[in-house]
Structure 1
Amino acid sequence: MSIIETLSRDAAQAAKTLAQVDTQTKNTILLDMARSLRDNSFEIRSANLIDLASAEQAGLSHAMIDRLTLDGDRIEAMAHGIEIIATLPDPIGVQRDLSTRPNGLAISKMRVPLGVVCMIYEARPNVTADAGALCFKSGNAVILRGGKEALHTSKVIASVLQKVLKQYGLPASLIAVVPDPDRALLMELMQQRDTIDVIIPRGGEGLINFVTEHSKVPVIQHFKGVCHLYVDKDADLDKALALLLNGKTQRTGVCNALEGLLVHSEVAPKFLAMAATALAKHQVKINCCANTQQYFAAAQVLSDEEFGQEYLDLELAVRQVKDFDQAVAHIHRFGSRHTEVICTENELTAKRFQRTVDASVVMVNASSRFSDGGELGLGAEIGIATTKLHAYGPMGLESLTTEKYLVNGDGQIRA
């Protein structure tokens, strides 16, 4: 039996043992995991420095290195996220009554784990902790296949969590790590449909496409994050500027950063002048439509087909639109169904935007940077689904479960 077959089989068996663990025990274990991450911060950061040195030598992009980096604050954020997960309601076993049939059969549904979740990710070592904690609380085993960029860091984080599991007599295979980033092992992993229930890839668009194309296991997809801010004619322009700067410049290498700015023509002269001055201070490169070029120094004019890029850097696409409908049409053509934001003081327009725009998160007068599991009260997220089966948007505990039917009778037989 190959290493991947063994890993997958052991994870499937471990998931069955987790079904016997009650909520209080799971929460106690999670709190110990958070404490252990803090206690082993030095070891985690030391491993991360090894990965960062290799990343620098390999010439990885600034965005990739930013995602890879773990400092004290980010380790603390991982630990705090696990603590929040421990406080959240356990979805497992929750029942909802549906109906009582004319023949007396009582029909209900109960939440159950998916089983074995496989995470395939690139330079995101925090996924190791987030996925491990979320899967554990929701009753799932998880197999973690990180990229070579984060291998040292991910292995240390996983070992910290596994040590806590062993202290409570639980198998380490509940949070399993593929020890080698060899592409052949990845290909084999994606064929384990008898033991793995779902694969969630997190990374660049190339990785998502590769997994989707080659996997025999169902895949929850998270494609690129092309997020827009639409500044409506009824916007508070100071508020809009704050949303723009936070969304674009606070952290550029993440999927909830702004990549596009749409401005209603009625407020364009005033707002674009404000934006040009503010963005220049942050050295943001501007790509824009011909109608917008006059407001920005050294702007690059885009053809209509060139919008919709995920820059993951201090770079932004700007377009002036004549009305609400043109803004929404642009979003539907160039957005990635991740996060879309409107700034407006018109309540009817705001509601129309949230009802009309097809994206997993639609915001009114709030920064796109809040499109994150932790910020939305999930404790952490295992991914942001931009397709609709079976989840849409940031995936927390409930998204890692499904429902089974419960049918209770008193000897009924079908005629």
Structure 2
Amino acid sequence: MSILREQALACVQASRTMAALDTAAKRRLLHAMADQLLFRQGDILQANASDMQAAMAKGTAGAMLDRLRLDPERLQAIAAAVRHVASLEDPVGQVTRREQRADGLRIERQRVPLGVIAMIYEARPNVTADAAALCLYAGNGVILRGGSEAVHSNTAIALALGQALQAQGLDPQAILLIEDLRRETMLELLQLVDIVDLAIPRGGEGLIRFVAEHARVPVIKHYKGVCHLFVDADADQRLALDLLIDGKTSRPGVCNALETLLVDARVAPEFLPKAAAALQARGVRMRGDVASRALVPVLEEATEADYAAEYLDLIIAIRVVEGVDAAIEHIRRHGSDHTEVIASRNPVSIERFIAGLRSAVVMVNASSRFSDGGELGLGAEIGISTTRLHAYGPMGAESLTIERYVVQGTGQTRHPVDA
């Protein structure tokens, strides 16, 4: 038996203990985890500094470096997210449907833990704590396989979380951090069909495609976030400008940042010059189609590839469209089913936009940056699913459970039984 399989089986055993815990015990555990993160702040930040130094020496920059970085404020936010998860309604045991048949059978659907979740991620040490908190609160065990660029940070965070488990008299193997980061070990993990109930990759498109193509276990996928803002002819232009600036510039290296601006042709002559000036003042490079470049000559020429790009940088693609239907068609062709935004005061346009798209999140007169588990009331998120399986959109603790049937009877049989 390989070392990984042996460790994973221990995680399975620990997960059964987690599944049996009541809500109060799980809440105590998560608060203890948050306490340990802050108690060991010095060790965690020192470990992160080592990762940051190594990453910069390799030439890492931009969004990847930003995702890797921890500081006291970010660590406080991670601990707060763990506490927030503990404050949420416990999904385990929730009854989502209840009925009684004429023959007396009582039928319920109730939520139960998935079992063991494999989390595969890169350059995001906060995921170590977020994933552990969400998985454990939902009664699961979790196997964490972080990237080499965050190895010291992940190890320090996992150590703190494991100490919290021990302090609560629980098996620390409910959180398994894989230390062997060779690709062969990840491939072995993705083949453990009798152990791993769900794999969730979180990182760049290359990582997610690798996991999806090599896994034999179920995979939740989210390849990229090509998020659009459509400015309708009836939009409040000041509001639309605020949504554009926040969505593109507040943190361009995240998946809920705007990548494309679509503007109704009827307001483009008025809105686009103002938008371009505001973006340019904030260092954003702009690439536009023929119509938008005619209105704003400083725009670079956009290609079709630009409209499918997740830049994760201060770059935005711009297109002038003929109304809401043309905006919907553009998004259907180039979008990634992540998050779409409409700025409009017209209820007809708004309803057409909502009904015409199947994206995981649709925002009406609100920034794309709210497309986040914490902002949407999940406490934290383990990822964003653009795969239409049991979960779609930002995934919290409830998404780490499944529904099963519990049927209670008094001896009913489907067919008559001869005496």
Q: TM-score, normalised by structure 2?
A: 0.97
Letter in 2 for 1:409: G
Q: How does 1:281-300 map to 2 (within 5 A)?
A: 281-296=281-296, 298-300=298-300
Checking the alignment, whether the CA contact within 8 Å between 1:276 and 1:295 is kept in structure 2 is no
- Cα deviation per residue 1:34-80 (whole Å; 9 max; x = unaligned)? 12211221211111111111111111241100111111111111111
Checking the alignment, whether the CA contact within 8 Å between 1:205 and 1:224 is kept in structure 2 is yes
Deviation of 1:233 (Å): 0.3
The answer as to 2:398 corresponding to 1:408 is no
Deviation of 1:283 (Å): 1.2
The answer as to 2:21 corresponding to 1:21 is yes
User: 1:157 — aligned with what?
Assistant: 157
User: 1:142 — aligned with what?
Assistant: 142
- Cα deviation per residue 1:11-43 (whole Å; 9 max; x = unaligned)? 111111112211111101111211221122121
Deviation of 1:351 (Å): 2.4
User: 1:107 — aligned with what?
Assistant: 107
Letter in 1 for 2:70: L
Letter in 2 for 1:29: L
The number of equivalent residue pairs is 415
Q: Aligned to 1:291, what secondary structure does the other structure show?
A: helix
Deviation of 1:305 (Å): 4.8
Structure 2 distance, partners of 1:24, 1:17, is 14
Letter in 2 for 1:301: E
User: 1:190 — aligned with what?
Assistant: 190
How much identity, in percent, do the aligned residues show?
51
Structure 1 distance, partners of 2:382, 2:84, is 14
Deviation of 1:100 (Å): 2.4
Deviation of 1:180 (Å): 2.1
Q: Aligned to 2:55, what secondary structure does the other structure show?
A: helix
Letter in 1 for 2:252: T
Structure 1 distance, partners of 2:152, 2:249, is 29
Structure 1 distance, partners of 2:246, 2:412, is 61
Deviation of 1:298 (Å): 4.0
Structure 2 distance, partners of 1:247, 1:274, is 16
User: 2:312 — aligned with what?
Assistant: 312
- Cα deviation per residue 1:302-360 (whole Å; 9 max; x = unaligned)? 23354210000000000000111100000111110000000011123212212221200
Deviation of 1:294 (Å): 3.2
- Cα deviation per residue 1:93-125 (whole Å; 9 max; x = unaligned)? 112444323332111111100000000001111
The answer as to 2:361 corresponding to 1:366 is no
Checking the alignment, whether the CA contact within 8 Å between 1:339 and 1:361 is kept in structure 2 is yes
Report the aligned-residue RMSD: 1.1
Q: Aligned to 2:239, what secondary structure does the other structure show?
A: helix
User: 1:12 — aligned with what?
Assistant: 12
The answer as to 2:47 corresponding to 1:63 is no
Checking the alignment, whether the CA contact within 8 Å between 1:118 and 1:145 is kept in structure 2 is yes
- Change in CA separation of 1:111 and 1:46 when aligned onto 2, cut-off 3 Å: same
User: 1:331 — aligned with what?
Assistant: 331
The answer as to 2:343 corresponding to 1:349 is no
Deviation of 1:300 (Å): 2.1
User: 2:31 — aligned with what?
Assistant: 31
Q: Aligned to 1:256, what secondary structure does the other structure show?
A: coil
- Cα deviation per residue 1:184-230 (whole Å; 9 max; x = unaligned)? 11011101110110000001111111101000100000110000000
User: 2:271 — aligned with what?
Assistant: 271
Checking the alignment, whether the CA contact within 8 Å between 1:286 and 1:296 is kept in structure 2 is no
Q: How does 1:121-140 map to 2 (within 5 A)?
A: 121-140=121-140
Deviation of 1:414 (Å): 2.7
Q: Aligned to 2:70, what secondary structure does the other structure show?
A: coil
Structure 2 distance, partners of 1:369, 1:306, is 21
Q: How does 1:126-275 map to 2 (within 5 A)?
A: 126-275=126-275
Structure 2 distance, partners of 1:313, 1:346, is 32
Q: Aligned to 1:378, what secondary structure does the other structure show?
A: coil
Letter in 2 for 1:34: A
Structure 1 distance, partners of 2:250, 2:259, is 13
Checking the alignment, whether the CA contact within 8 Å between 2:19 and 2:138 is kept in structure 1 is no
Structure 2 distance, partners of 1:43, 1:268, is 52
Checking the alignment, whether the CA contact within 8 Å between 2:324 and 2:352 is kept in structure 1 is no
Q: After alignment, is 344-353 or 268-277 more displaced? A: 344-353
- Change in CA separation of 1:231 and 1:150 when aligned onto 2, cut-off 3 Å: same
**Structure 1: which 5+ runs fail to align?**
none
Q: TM-score, normalised by structure 1?
A: 0.98
Q: How does 1:392-407 map to 2 (within 5 A)?
A: 392-407=392-407
Deviation of 1:150 (Å): 0.8
Structure 2 distance, partners of 1:297, 1:150, is 43
Structure 2 distance, partners of 1:35, 1:98, is 39
Q: Aligned to 1:362, what secondary structure does the other structure show?
A: strand
Q: Aligned to 1:241, what secondary structure does the other structure show?
A: helix
Structure 1 distance, partners of 2:176, 2:304, is 46
Letter in 1 for 2:87: T
